[in-house]
Structure 1
Amino acid sequence: MSVTPKSQVVLQVTDLTCIRDGRRLFEGLRFSLHAGAAIQVKGSNGAGKTTLLRTLIGSSSEFSGDILWCGDPYPKGLPAMRDSLLYIGHRGGVRSGLTPLENLTWYGANQEAALSALESVDLTGFEDSLCHSLSAGQNRRVALARLFLPNSPRFWILDEPLTALDVAGVAALEEQMAAHLRNGGSILLTSHQPLSLPGLDALNLSDYTVFESFSDFGGEHVLS
């Protein structure tokens, strides 16, 4: 991972309004994420945390407002953002018909790096087990093992990464996230659980929540 100057604004969001199923989830959202910084997105269930993350990675087009990646607006900035992005959603991107080792090598890791990453998430001994035979917590650790691979992308977007992890797993993940920030990486994540992470900022979507139907929204903002 190349080190980014910590003064650089990696992601800037201005006056963002997001829609889901014809309903405004939040409006007027604005924040900036700098290199070397982390933001935890908070909010009640249904507040739009996952929708926000999906919008930022270009998977949801029902929004208005401005999103800039390193100064480039969407959709122009999307290719550069995706080249620098590691996104782990609720499903984690784990292929159940593959083993943990095969999953990591599918993402481009060599065997040595993959085995080291699996050891970091306490999956030694399960490298060759099919993922459909593993527990929910173990599958979550397979997904999170990508964070322990060398040359990790500089921008992490993580949706509830602590789900199904035990105390030791949470501690290991917090330590890895702290190391990522020290190296100039950036993290945007959601979590219902408290995090111990130096300099962690909070963004509460409840402060931007509205409760009106999708009646006057001027169409979709389509990403190409």
Structure 2
Amino acid sequence: MPPLIYTKPSFANEAAFAISNLECVRGYAQLFTNLNFKVKSASALQLIGANGAGKTSLLRILAGLSQPERGAIFWNGDNIADNPVAYFASLNYLGHKIALQDNLTVGENLSFLGRLADDQPAISVTQSLRIMAVSDLADAPCFQLSTGQRQRIALARVLRSNAQLWLLDEPAAALDRDGIALLHEIMMTHIHAGGVIVYASHPALDFGGEHQQLHLRAPAALS
């Protein structure tokens, strides 16, 4: 394997992320029920399924943006309902909608978002843009960005976070071949540092033995 494009300090603690008997209902469809999985430090879980199978719904539940019909989520053995503040401080969520203010520059957006997430971001704005190969866009207003460039900026935001748990919804969307290679490397670096990743993505990203897959089936109509 070629050397990784950057390094990061290892997380001090061993982490475990798990869900138990999770059920999700949207409208008149049961997206999933009795869903269980566990992901430990230094590993990734890929969510697989057809459109509408519930990948985004599951990630939003894990990120605390939606509530499940029933079931529980555990971080390091503790139900997140008992200490949601600690849990949310440990996660970084990247969804379909990229939270960039079009009237601000790329650098201004990343600085603002970094202060919202962490008192001391893991790396500087300059470093994150260099890693994502978009250093030349630091002073560009975000309304000028292409879709692929916006995705790279969104990933630069993820890089600046100190969170151990990454929840990524289609992080490869709109990326070209070079962008997908960069994404693979930053995810691999996070795993090697003891991070935990749950992601939905096409194409699949190969992380060797650190990689699991969870297949979500087509939703069933409620009787």
TM-score bracket relative to the smaller structure? 0.7 to 0.9
CA contact (8 A) 1:69 1:78 kept: no
Cα distance in structure 1, aligned partners of 2:19 and 2:185: 28
Letter in 1 for 2:153: V
Tell me what 1:3 maps to. Answer: 11
Letter in 2 for 1:49: K
1:194 pairs, out of 196, 201, 204, with 204
Cα distance in structure 2, aligned partners of 1:94 and 1:155: 22
Cα distance in structure 2, aligned partners of 1:17 and 1:86: 23
Letter in 2 for 1:128: D
1:212 pairs, out of 199, 216, 221, with 221
Tell me what 2:66 maps to. Answer: 60
Please show how residues 1-224 of structure 1 align to structure 2 within 5 Å: 3-6=11-14, 8-9=15-16, 11-106=17-112, 107-108=114-115, 113-149=124-160, 152-198=162-208, 199-206=210-217, 209-213=218-222
Q: Which runs of 5+ in 1 are unaligned?
A: 216-224
Cα distance in structure 1, aligned partners of 2:207 and 2:65: 28
Cα distance in structure 2, aligned partners of 1:36 and 1:87: 18
Q: What is the aligned residue count?
A: 208
Cα distance in structure 1, aligned partners of 2:34 and 2:10: 33
RMSD: 1.9
Letter in 1 for 2:11: V
1:178: Cα distance to partner?
0.8
Provide TM-score, normalisation by structure 1: 0.86
> CA offsets, 1:185-208, max 9 Å, x none?
1100001212122321101111xx
Tell me what 2:6 maps to. Answer: none
1:74: Cα distance to partner?
3.5
1:5: Cα distance to partner?
4.5
Cα distance in structure 2, aligned partners of 1:97 and 1:77: 36
Letter in 2 for 1:148: L
Q: Which runs of 5+ in 2 are unaligned?
A: 1-8
